[in-house]
Amino acid sequence: MTTEMSSNEQIIGRQELDDLEAILSVVGTEDADGRHVIASSYDSIFTWDYEKGARPRLNKLYEKAKDAQWNGETDLPWTTDVDQEKLVVEAARELGGFAAGFDIAGTPLELWGDKEWIQFGVEGQNWMLSQFLHGEQGALICTAKIVESVPWIDAKYYASTQVMDEARHVEVFAKYLDDKLSGHYPVNAHLRMLLDDIISDSRWDMTYLGMQIMIEGLALAAFGLLHSTTKEPLLKQLLRYVMADEARHVAFGVLSLQEYYQGLNAAELRERQEFAFEAAVRMRDRFLQQEVWVKMGVDPKDILPVVLQAPDRNEFQALLFSKIVPNCKKLGLLDAADGWLRTKFTELGVIEFESAVDTSEEYDAMAALPPSKRDLI
């Protein structure tokens, strides 16, 4: 039986995925008191079934998580000197110049010299790490919610270890921004919208899907790309530690949702597909870095059409979904409802990753070593 799907307009607020004007119309606001309050209502579930190991794969993950804890204050080389400008210059040299791959003729960038390009690179570093930081706090809140709302004791046990992981991730990204970089950015408006939706939804599995599969999955891919390209040794080691945790978190989401989704009907699976699609679009939109362009005095509407046409831009964006697509496939979301999500991921240009290694397999390789030896890989 075919289940009617919502339109793009209903799901993401616009009909065309690449409507730049609509994307840029989503802007963030600063909270005057430095807090952001999201109203949510969900069931906090006690279980009187304390049988440990009723779900062996979750129990195995819990045991691994206990052994994989690390100390963000003492296990990373915080005495490392970080020269942001030097890193920007070295990266540009490897790429063949600051504007390599961009046709900047007739744009505001045509008048930029080395000073402006270096500052843009520095701001880009600050922006990127700031968004990582905000996303990790979102994960901290969501995982605390999972401890309360998931009905199985093995999942509660494991999720409690992830709360500690996420607190540690918030700690190390905040410390890196404060001690090694040169500025914070507020949470990107598209990321904030997604976090609001995930946290306010009353259904525990939506928290899993939005955070464990979508946001954590993209974060794992983004951390991997940065880890493979950065020349900064402290950040490289920090990311290596965090990536092993993130792979375990995504594996937790897959293990938990596989069982639950087998019992959902077509209409319920349709909602999960639409939510996954909305999350994917929101996360893609946030990588436009419009806040950086504004800070540099450039109207994003004037320059983003040029940026989006740059060589490898689409490939870079697609790679960020290399962890999400195979995990959605493993959950049965790609081909439910006549393959609706498969069609949408094809439109986004990311369906090629459906046969990539899923995270439950990847975790075994990534986190096999104790924390003290992870930086050797």
Mean pLDDT across 332-360: 87
CA-nearest of 114, 16, 26 to 300 is: 26
Q: Which residue has the tokens 């809140």?
A: 141
pLDDT single digits (tens) 238-288: 999 999 999 999 999 999 999 899 999 999 999 999 999 999 999 999 888
Q: Which residue bears the tokens 């919208």? A: 193
Residue ranges of domains in the chain, CATH in brackets: 96-376 (1.20.1260.10)
Token readout for 7 is: 């339109």
Token pair for 306? 């040029």
Mean pLDDT, residues 162-169 taken together = 97
State the Cα–Cα distance between residues 59 and 194, nearest whole angstrom: 30
Q: What is the pTM of this model?
A: 0.92
Which residue in this structure is represented by tokens 């009353």? Answer: 202
In terms of phi and psi (left: phi > 0; alpha: psi -120 to 50; beta: otherwise), the region of 298 is beta
Q: Which amino acid is at 120?
A: F
Q: What is the pLDDT of residues 20-70, one digit of tens each?
A: 898 988 987 777 778 899 988 899 999 999 999 999 999 999 999 999 999
Other Cβ atoms closer than 10 A to 258: 15
- Give DSSP secondary structure letters for 223-267: HHHHHHH---HHHHHHHHHHHHHHHHHHHHHHHHHHHHHTT--HH
Can you tell me the distance from the alpha carbon of 266 to that of 275, in angstroms, rounded to the nearest whole number?
14
Of residues 359, 177, 357, the one with CA closest to residue 256? 359
